[in-house]
């Protein structure tokens, strides 16, 4: 009996390919070429499943070229690369990779906050350039993390992980804004208080963005919001490009209207706005918040297990549009 055909759209751990190959005929992408939309659509013409990452956009046009497709398994918790409505209309299940990356990503959010507030990369570049000739009293003075007010926008699992690190580890006063308020037990666990977006912007010493990307969250931080922030404040974005208006942020950083920013995600990434590259008060990392070996392996395993679970037993682990399962 021939095995069902699936596509793995990006290079991935060999053991994940081997695991998938026990169940499926796998077309993979070991050279990690980034396919155009037309190439991806052509490759999906005879596939029942696809393993995607954030770089593959699955929309109505791609789905129309994939008549046999039943599942798209994303190796990411965020799934703004999926048009979920179009997938549901086409009877295609989407799955994401939640939970397995929560603590690793919260660790990184905190690392980026620390690096930004304490001017870590800026000072390292200075040292490496051979410019450190003497100590001085105000050299690379930044702002404190401990005891300061941490504002978190987006209080899902990762936001809660960052809140706990701040409140329990660094004695921070944690305030948050979210579409819905957490229940009292979760708030107590995170030692976090719910405030309006405006109060958060005005009172936080440091702001971390962990909100999922959608049309509604586009430019959650733009010129108006940056104007409300303290001039001493740091802004950290580990959510998605497009949550921050990068042009407005670059202007605010240039004019020192806020102190500094730490960015792991960018509008139009992997391109980065050229103004950000020239500024010293911004820490820039290439979308690596979930990048530890065990976590990336866990994410890849979860995506693979969603493909295997759905295509062999009709039982995906982390479905996004559950309605599709009932229809099939
Ligand atoms: C991924 C992420 O590395 O999970 C997410 O939503 O942003 C990252 O952890 C990236 O999306 C690649 O799939």
Query: 29-83 pLDDT, tens per residue?
Result: 999 999 999 999 999 999 999 999 999 999 999 999 999 999 999 999 999 999 9
Percent of the chain beyond pLDDT 90? Answer: 98
- Determine whether domain 102-284 maps to CATH 1.10.150.530: no
pLDDT in tens, 279-311: 999 999 999 999 999 999 999 999 999 999 999
Provide the token pair at 69: 């497709």
Assigned CATH for 5-98+293-326 = 3.40.50.720
Q: What is the pLDDT, as a whole number, of residue 1?
A: 73
DSSP letter at 221?
A: B
Which listed residue (119, 206, 240, 296) is catalytic? 240
> Side-chain half-sphere of 206: how many Cα atoms within 13 Å?
30
Tell me the CA–centroid distance for residue 76 and ligand 1, in Å.
Answer: 4
Tell me the CA–centroid distance for residue 234 and ligand 1, in Å.
Answer: 23
CA distances, 275 to each of 3, 232, 253, 271 (Å) = 50, 20, 10, 12
> What does the alpha-carbon distance between residue 275 and residue 309 come to, in Å, rounded to a whole number?
46
The model scores a pTM over 0.85:
yes
> What does the alpha-carbon distance between residue 153 and residue 176 come to, in Å, rounded to a whole number?
6
Same fold, 5-98+293-326 and 102-284: yes
The answer to whether residue 195 scores a pLDDT higher than 80 is: yes
**Residue 269 is among the residues annotated as catalytic for this protein:** yes
Residue nearest atom 9 in ligand 1 by C-alpha distance: 290
- For tokens 């820039």, name the residue: 284
Q: What is the pLDDT, as a whole number, of residue 89?
A: 98
The answer to whether residue 326 scores a pLDDT higher than 70 is: no
Domain boundaries, given as residue ranges, for the chain: 5-98+293-326, 102-284
Q: What is the pLDDT, as a whole number, of residue 292?
A: 98
> What does the alpha-carbon distance between residue 113 and residue 150 come to, in Å, rounded to a whole number?
10
The answer to whether residue 328 scores a pLDDT higher than 80 is: no
When the pLDDT of each residue in the chain is averaged and rounded to a whole number, the result is 97
pLDDT in tens, 197-256: 999 999 999 999 999 999 999 999 999 999 999 999 999 999 999 999 999 999 999 999
CA distances, 302 to each of 8, 99, 239, 299, 319 (Å) = 14, 10, 21, 5, 11
């Amino acid at each position: 009996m021939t095995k069902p055909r699936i596509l793995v759209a990006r290079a991935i751990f060999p053991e994940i390919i081997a695991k998938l190959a026990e169940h499926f005929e796998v077309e993979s992408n070991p050279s990690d070429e980034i396919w155009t939309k037309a190439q991806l659509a052509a490759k999906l013409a005879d596939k029942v499943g696809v393993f995607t990452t954030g770089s593959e956009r699955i929309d109505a046009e791609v789905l129309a070229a994939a008549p046999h497709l039943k599942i798209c398994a994303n190796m990411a918790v965020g799934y703004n690369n999926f048009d979920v409505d179009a997938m549901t209309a086409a009877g295609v299940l989407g799955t994401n990779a939640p939970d397995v990356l929560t603590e690793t990503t919260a660790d990184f959010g905190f690392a980026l906050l620390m690096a930004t507030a304490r001017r870590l990369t800026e000072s390292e570049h200075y040292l490496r350039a051979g410019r450190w000739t003497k100590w001085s009293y105000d050299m690379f003075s930044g702002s404190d993390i401990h005891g300061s007010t941490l504002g978190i926008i987006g209080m899902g699992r990762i936001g809660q992980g960052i809140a706990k690190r701040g409140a329990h580890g660094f004695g921070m006063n944690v305030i948050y804004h979210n579409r819905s308020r957490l229940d009292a037990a979760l708030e107590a666990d995170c030692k976090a208080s719910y405030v309006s977006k405006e109060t958060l912007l005005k009172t936080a010493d440091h702001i971390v963005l962990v909100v999922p990307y959608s049309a509604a969250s586009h430019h959650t931080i733009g010129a108006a919001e940056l104007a409300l922030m303290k001039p001493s404040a740091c802004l950290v974005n580990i959510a998605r490009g497009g949550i921050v208006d990068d042009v407005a942020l670059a202007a605010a950083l240039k004019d020192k209207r806020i102190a500094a920013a730490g960015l792991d995600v960018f509008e139009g990434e992997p391109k980065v706005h050229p103004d950000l590259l020239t500024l010293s008060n911004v820490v820039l990392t290439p979308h690596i918040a979930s990048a530890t070996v065990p976590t990336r392996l866990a994410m890849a395993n979860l995506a693979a297990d969603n493909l295997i679970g759905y295509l062999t037993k009709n039982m995906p682990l982390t479905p996004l549009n559950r309605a599709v399962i009932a229809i099939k």
